[in-house]
Amino acid sequence: MATDRIIIFDTTLRDGEQAPGAAMTIPEKIQIAHQLSKLGVDVIEAGFPVSSPAQFEAVRRIASEVKGPIICGLARAKKADIEAAGAALEGGEKTRIHTFIATSDIHLSSKFADERYGKTLAEKRVQIKEMAVEAVTLARTFTDDVEFSAEDAGRTDTDYLCEVVQATIDAGATTINLPDTTGYCISDEYADLIGRVIKGCKVPKGVVFSTHCHDDLGLAVANSLSGVQAGARQIECTINGIGERAGNAALEEVAMAISVRGPHFDLTTGIQSELLTQTSKMVSTFSGFVVQPNKAIVGKNAFSHEAGIHQDGVLKSRETYEIMRAEDVGQTTQSIRLGRHSGRHGLFNRLNKLGVAINSAEKDRIYDEFTQLADRKKEINDLDLYNLVHNYTNVNNDAHYSLEDFGVTVGTSKHPEASVRIRHVRHDQVVEKVATGDGPIDALFRAIDHAINEGHDLINYTIRSISEGADAFGEVSVLISLGGPCFAGKASSTDVVHASAEAYMNALNSLAAHRADQESIQFVNTGIMQAFDGGVE
């Protein structure tokens, strides 16, 4: 039997944008719509045209500019809404009008309390069904692709829901959406609802049932998946799960569940999963909604392993703790995060990747220093590792240069200026230099460079506070390079200018030691070659 294709209906630009504070500009929405098209979604709900001129314009522009997916506009079961949606979508290549009305008794008795909708609940039910039919009929005059949603279907009496659904199908609805508007349903209940409505109606070929689940109980993705197992073939979802209140089912989670658990669902989607992270970042930037680090699929920690046992397992075989590959969802993060819980295997593997060879005699001490650092610092990055190794391996290095004195002056009316006195230990020579710079640290580093007079590039300079308060300790890390290998220096002090100078000197000493090593290797090689050449003659 052929594997069924699930229609991915993205409502980031409509339900997603309804999230308080998530409003996006029209150009941002257009950019997201293009990205959603590349991502492979089947339907883009671009907005709610009647609700504001900006919404109308966003839907209009997306319908005319974005090719590929069906472009959909939302409309209440009202003439003005449907006409506005029809006008906004006019001229679009593939368009859909999505009309909705609430069907649960809770909504009927409060939102439709006015007597013009009927005096009793029974009368209101009849009236609402008629409004739904009229809305679908009118929408069909604009497009052949009409979706009807029974708002709050999750809390609607099933027999009445079947009546409304049948009536709207008969009026020409091609997609029937059964939203769990309040995120109230538990997965088996939602699956049961979908199954019962499909069974309870005469469903012509081509009519598709849809899920639309909110995350108030954290069940939106689970409920959507249960819905498709019960026969729905469209899932409504949003990037990063943004949406009303606790949000909607997250597109990236739904798509990856269907893909990773292929044999379980026997379903597919058209989602190009390697674009998921990129899309998530775009939506996060434009909506201003930060993605939590532990967010499934697109969170920055989603493929990071910190516990030693996990790191060890993943390094032996990814399958031990990974059910999908980071690159399959477009994540490029360092999968092994070094921190307090990391083990030796993770540490030495990373050092190896950084090209830092550690002999077995050094390993215990390096690991010991690493664990001490990890107690102070949440995450250990590559620069920290360079520093750590450098600090240890440099213990036996005689310094080539030492900073005997320095001074920095700053003011509002002149450029920062620094002076240094540096001893060239090997030549027993003291050099004094002065330099100006863009800031005190820049001036200081320039003065040191003049005094040392050897070329290199400054690759990285970071400063962080390692204690609290105005007199906090500042830890400075510096990374310099000769074009190939990097040399790190680190120092801490309550005086960050002093710490910067010492960190820079440490890095320069490390580089000088490397140069000296290279020169002696060169010297030995040249000597061997000369001796060899002499022997042949």
Q: Could you tell me the smallest distance in angstroms from the CB atom of residue 164 to ligand KIV?
A: 14
Q: Could you tell me the smallest distance in angstroms from the CB atom of residue 11 to Zn ion?
A: 7
Span 204-243, contacts to ligand KIV by CB under 6 A: 212, 214
Q: Could you tell me the smallest distance in angstroms from the CB atom of residue 248 to Zn ion?
A: 6
Which listed range, 122-130, 175-183, 258-266, 383-391, lies at the site for ligand KIV (CB under 6 A)? 175-183
Q: Could you tell me the smallest distance in angstroms from the CB atom of residue 212 to ligand KIV?
A: 5
CA distance 241 to 221: 9
480 and 508 Cβ atoms separated by less than 8 Å: yes
Angle (CA) 121-196-255 rounded to 5° is 115
Closest CB to ligand KIV among 149 and 477? 149
Span 399-458, contacts to ligand KIV by CB under 6 A: none
Please report, for residues 284, 376, 400, the alpha-carbon distance to residue 73 in angstroms, rounded to integers and kept in the order given: 23, 53, 71
Picked from Zn ion, ligand KIV, none, the partner binding residue 100 (CB below 5 to 8 A depending on kind) is: ligand KIV
Closest CB to ligand KIV among 12 and 510? 12
Which listed range, 27-35, 130-138, 173-181, 409-417, lies at the site for ligand KIV (CB under 6 A)? 173-181
CA distance 49 to 364: 66
Query: How many residues does the structure list for the chain?
Result: 537
When binding is defined by CB under 6 A, the residue of 7, 8, 15, 72 that contacts ligand KIV is 15
Which listed range, 177-185, 338-346, 409-417, 421-429, lies at the site for ligand KIV (CB under 6 A)? 177-185
Closest CB to ligand KIV among 175 and 279? 175
When binding is defined by CB under 6 A, the residue of 49, 69, 179, 343 that contacts ligand KIV is 179
Closest CB to ligand KIV among 175 and 391? 175
Closest CB to ligand KIV among 214 and 423? 214
Q: Return the residue matching tokens 């959603």.
A: 36
Return the amino acid letter for 376: R
Which listed range, 176-184, 262-270, 433-441, 447-455, lies at the site for ligand KIV (CB under 6 A)? 176-184
Of the candidates 512, 295, 525, which has an alpha carbon nearest to the alpha carbon of residue 423? 512
Using the rule CB under 6 A, is 149 a contact of ligand KIV? yes
Pattern 99-118, ligand KIV, x by CB under 6 A? -x------------------
* Footprint of Zn ion (CB under 5 A): 15
Helices (H), 333-439: 344-353, 360-376, 382-393
230 and 197 Cβ atoms separated by less than 8 Å: no
CA distance 472 to 199: 68
26 and 59 Cβ atoms separated by less than 8 Å: no
> DSSP code of 6?
P
Widest CA span of the chain, in angstroms?
117
Of the candidates 88, 206, 209, which has an alpha carbon nearest to the alpha carbon of residue 153? 209
CA dihedral (184, 188, 191, 197) in degrees, to 10, reads -80
Using the rule CB under 6 A, is 181 a contact of ligand KIV? yes
CA distance 130 to 400: 90
431 DSSP β-pair partners? 422
Angle (CA) 410-411-413 rounded to 5° is 135
Closest CB to ligand KIV among 96 and 212? 212
When binding is defined by CB under 6 A, the residue of 151, 215, 475, 502 that contacts ligand KIV is 151
Q: Could you tell me the smallest distance in angstroms from the CB atom of residue 170 to ligand KIV?
A: 21
Which listed range, 174-182, 296-304, 372-380, 491-499, lies at the site for ligand KIV (CB under 6 A)? 174-182
Closest CB to ligand KIV among 14 and 305? 14
Q: Could you tell me the smallest distance in angstroms from the CB atom of residue 18 to ligand KIV?
A: 8
Please give the structure tokens belonging to residue 507: 């890095």
Closest CB to ligand KIV among 151 and 417? 151
Please give the structure tokens belonging to residue 151: 């708002």
Of the candidates 40, 401, 7, 463, which has an alpha carbon nearest to the alpha carbon of residue 211? 7
Phi/psi for 10 (5° steps) reads: -95, 125
Span 61-100, contacts to ligand KIV by CB under 6 A: 100
Q: Could you tell me the smallest distance in angstroms from the CB atom of residue 100 to ligand KIV?
A: 4
Q: Could you tell me the smallest distance in angstroms from the CB atom of residue 149 to ligand KIV?
A: 4
Of the candidates 136, 137, 118, 119, which has an alpha carbon nearest to the alpha carbon of residue 127? 118
Q: Could you tell me the smallest distance in angstroms from the CB atom of residue 24 to ligand KIV?
A: 17
Question: Interface with ligand KIV by CB under 6 A: which residues?
Answer: 15, 100, 149, 151, 177, 179, 181, 212, 214
